[in-house]
Chain A
Amino acid sequence: MASGSTADDAGAKLQILKDALYDEMRQHGSEARPFSQKDLNDLNIIPNNDVNLLLSVVQRLCDDKLLVGIANHHAGMAWRWRSREEAKKYTSLPNDEAVMVYSIIDEAGADGIWNRTIKNKLNMHEAVVKNCIKFLETKGYIASMKNVEHPNKKMYIKATLRPSERATGGPWFTEGELDTAFISELEGIVFEYIKTKSAYRGSQPHAGGAASSAGATKAPKKGAVTAGETTARGTKRSATEISNDDAPTAATRTANGSTTTTTTTKSRAVFLPMPAGYKHYPTVAEIAKFIHDTGITNNTTLGESDIQQLVDVLSYDGLIERVRVGRRRGYRVARAVKQDTVPFHKRQKEREAGVGLDLPLVPGAEPLGSGLTEAPCGRCPVFELCEEGGPVSPSNCVYFLQWLELEEPPKAVAANVANPP
Chain B
Amino acid sequence: MLVTKPAAELCALLIDELHGELPSRIFAILLSKGRSTVPQLAQYTSMTPRQVRHGLAVLQQHNLLFYHTDPGAEFASYEANPDNAYNLVRTGKILEMIDTSFGAPAKDVMQSLLLSGQTRVSDLVAAYKEKLGHGNQTESAVGDDPDFGVEANGVNGDSKPDKKAGPLVKSTAHLNTIICRLVEAELIDVVHAKTFESSEDVLKTVEREVMHKYFPTGVKGNKAKQELQERIAEGLRKVRGESKSLKRKLEQNGSAAKRRKLLAGIGMANGIQDEDMDPALDPRQVIRINYEKCLVDLRNRRLVQYATDMIGETTAYVYGVLLKLLTKDLPRCRADPVMDAVAEKDEEDEKGPGSVTTEQILDSLKTSVDLSLGIGKAERRQVSSTAAEKIELYPPKKRVLIEEAEVDGEASADEDEGDDESSEESDYDSDYKAPTTNGTNGINGTNGTNGTKVKFDESAAPKERRMDRPTQLRQHLLMLAESTQHFVRHCGPNEWTVDFVPVMKSLREVELDSVIERTCGRQGLRLVRILRAKGKLDEKALPNVALMRKPELQQKMLEMQTAGFVSVQEVPRDLKADVKKSFFLWFCDVDRSLSRLLDTGYVTMVHCLQVLEALRRKEQDVLETTKRTDVRGREKDTMRKSYYERYSRFLECERKLFAQVMRVDDLVSVLRDF
Contact = CB atoms under 8 A, between A and B. Distances in A.
B385 interface: yes
A309 B484 contact: no
Interface stretch (B284-292, B491-499, B539-547): B539-547
Contacts of B518: 367, 369-370, 373, 378-379
Interface string A363-374: 000011111111
A272 B614 contact: no
A334 B402 CA distance: 15
Contacts of A352: none
A276 B478 contact: yes
Pick from A202, A371, A379 the residue with the most CB of B within 10 Å.
A371
B514 interface: yes
Contacts of B386: 277, 326
Interface string B395-433: 000000000011001000100100011011001110100
Interface string B233-245: 0000000000000
A7 B546 CA distance: 69
Interface in A354-409: 362, 367-375, 377-379, 383, 386, 388, 393-397, 400, 404, 406
Contacts of B481: 276
A245 to B, nearest CB: 5
Contact of A241 (B368, B423, B424, B546): B368
Contacts of A257: 652
B517 A279 contact: no
A273 B485 CA distance: 14
Interface in B39-93: 92-93
A317 to B, nearest CB: 5
B436 to A, nearest CB: 14
A374 B375 CA distance: 31
Given A316-B526, A328-B424, A367-B518, A276 B475 contact: yes
A275 B478 contact: yes
B479 A326 contact: no
Contact of A327 (B382, B413, B610, B613): B413
Contact of A243 (B317, B385, B388, B667): B317
A327 B421 contact: yes
A278 B375 CA distance: 12
A396 B617 CA distance: 12
A335 interface: yes
Interface stretch (A23-31, A55-63, A122-130, A232-240): A232-240
Contact of B424 (A172, A327, A334): A327
Interface stretch (B125-133, B216-224, B307-315, B569-577): B307-315
Interface in B360-391: 366, 368-369, 373-378, 382-389
A323 B483 CA distance: 8
Contacts of B659: 252-255
Contact of B409 (A204, A249, A274, A324): A324
A275 B388 contact: yes
Nearest to A289: B429
B660 interface: yes
Contact of A199 (B96, B376, B431, B543): B376
B656 A317 contact: no
A372 B667 contact: yes
A276 B376 contact: no
Interface string B287-300: 00000000000000
A309 B526 CA distance: 13
A77 interface: no
Given A372-B604, A372-B667, A326 B384 contact: yes
B270 interface: no
A312 interface: yes
A275 to B, nearest CB: 5
B511 interface: yes
Nearest to B614: A395
Given A236-B313, A317-B525, A273 B376 contact: yes
Nearest to A376: B607
Contact of B514 (A248, A328, A373): A373
A184 to B, nearest CB: 9
A328 to B, nearest CB: 5
Contacts of B543: 178
A228 B355 CA distance: 38
A12 interface: no
Pick from A246, A253, A257, A278 the residue with the most CB of B within 10 Å.
A278
Contacts of B377: 200, 202
Given A375-B660, A394-B607, A316 B533 contact: yes
Contacts of A327: 413, 416, 420-421, 424
B222 to A, nearest CB: 44
Contact of A368 (B99, B484, B510): B510
B305 interface: yes
Contacts of B600: 372, 377-378, 383
A200 B379 CA distance: 11
A273 B663 contact: no
B666 A326 contact: no
A308 B604 CA distance: 41
A336 B665 CA distance: 28
Given A178-B548, A378-B604, A394-B610, A245 B301 contact: yes
A336 B309 CA distance: 10
Nearest to A254: B659
Contact of A316 (B308, B317, B374, B546): B546
B611 A395 contact: yes
B317 A377 contact: no
Contact of A183 (B96, B421, B547): B547
Nearest to A371: B663
A309 B546 CA distance: 9
B515 A244 contact: no
B410 to A, nearest CB: 9
A273 B383 contact: no
Given A273-B375, A318-B529, A325-B384, A240 B611 contact: no
A326 B421 contact: yes
A175 interface: no
Contacts of A312: 545
Given A325-B387, A327-B424, A372-B604, A180 B549 contact: yes
Nearest to B388: A277
B653 A404 contact: yes
Given A275-B383, A316-B546, A372-B664, A233 B308 contact: yes
Contacts of B511: 370
Contacts of B409: 324, 329
Contacts of A370: 511, 514-515, 518, 663, 666-667
Given A172-B547, A275-B383, A318 B525 contact: yes
A244 to B, nearest CB: 7
A313 B546 contact: yes
A280 interface: yes
5 contacts: A273-B311, A275-B388, A367-B514, A371-B663, A395-B611
5 residue pairs, one from A and one from B, having the closest CB atoms:
A200-B376, A277-B388, A371-B663, A395-B614, A276-B478
